[in-house]
Amino acid sequence: MKKTLIVLLAICLFSVVGLTIVLLNSSNNALDVSDLNTSDKKEEVITPPKEPNPTNAEIIAKNLTIDNLTPKDVATFLDLDPDKEASSPDVLARQVSRLTTISGLLQAADDHSVTVAPLFNAPESFAIVPNSSIERNNEEESWQKLVKGDRIDLIALDGQIVKLVSSGLITSADISQTLSEAISISPATIDKLLKGDTTGVQTDAVNTLKNFLSSNYGIPEDTIDTLLSGDLNVSKETIEELILNRLVGALATPDSSDTAPTTES
């Protein structure tokens, strides 16, 4: 009897041990499968690459509704690289939306500001800052070349000039500068010759100017002699041709259109 009990106890003990081993193995296998499934799920999740922000030029172009102004103009004014990724697209878009335009006649200009008188509104002043772009008669110029009465189209941001486009009469200074660059004679000398003053001017300079006007513009020598004598009205039509058909009231009365940037009306 005792032997039978001992055998049964032994069988029970081995059964318990065997069952425990089976359960442990099953648990480990289940854990391994769970880990494998989790690993598989993680591998299946693909994060798309982050799209780069649009460039400064793209943001500006999208929000720019003003003619005569390019994204590059705005980027230059804001001291931004047009091709660089915009660091704050929303902020830049709001800046572009605040751009304003004004058209009128130039009343006054100095190194700090210009004053423009619109046709039906009171004159307004706008600040000149280092990044302001100024053009006069399609040429990049400094504010000193602006002339009272010029037609002004101005674009500003918060009262500061982004771009100013001016058009007006060609002055004697403009003519002198253009001819000076073409024939390497000082603007002062050319200015004297255009006013008919040959005092102290070398004959070579006079001949150089005459040859240039004759060969490049087909102006007869007798007309040039008349011009250099100071009688500008005689050859006004020819002079208009000389300056590419622009108005030349400044040459007809040389002192009447001199630049006066700081004169108030």
**What pLDDT is stored for residue 21 in this prediction?**
62
**What pLDDT is stored for residue 141 in this prediction?**
87
- How far apart are the C-alpha atoms of 3 and 8, rounded to whole Å? 9
- Helix extents (H) in 45-138: 56-63, 71-77, 89-97
Q: Which two tokens stand for residue 36?
A: 């494998």
**What pLDDT is stored for residue 109 in this prediction?**
94
Q: Tell the burial category of 77 from Cβ atoms under 10 Å away from its Cβ (0-12, 13-18, 19+).
A: buried
- Residues of the chain with pLDDT below 70 are 1-44, 194-202, 217-218, 227-265
**What pLDDT is stored for residue 263 in this prediction?**
42
First to last CA, the chain: 135
**What pLDDT is stored for residue 260 in this prediction?**
43
**What pLDDT is stored for residue 64 in this prediction?**
85
Please tell me the class of the 100-168 domain.
mainly beta
**What pLDDT is stored for residue 42 in this prediction?**
55
- Helix extents (H) in 103-243: 172-183, 187-194, 203-217, 221-228, 236-242
- How far apart are the C-alpha atoms of 26 and 53, rounded to whole Å? 52
Q: What residues does each domain of the chain span?
A: 52-97, 100-168, 172-252
257 close to 149: Cβ distance less than 8 angstroms: no
CA-closest candidate to residue 233, choices 248, 216, 214, 212: 248
- How far apart are the C-alpha atoms of 210 and 206, rounded to whole Å? 6
**What pLDDT is stored for residue 133 in this prediction?**
92
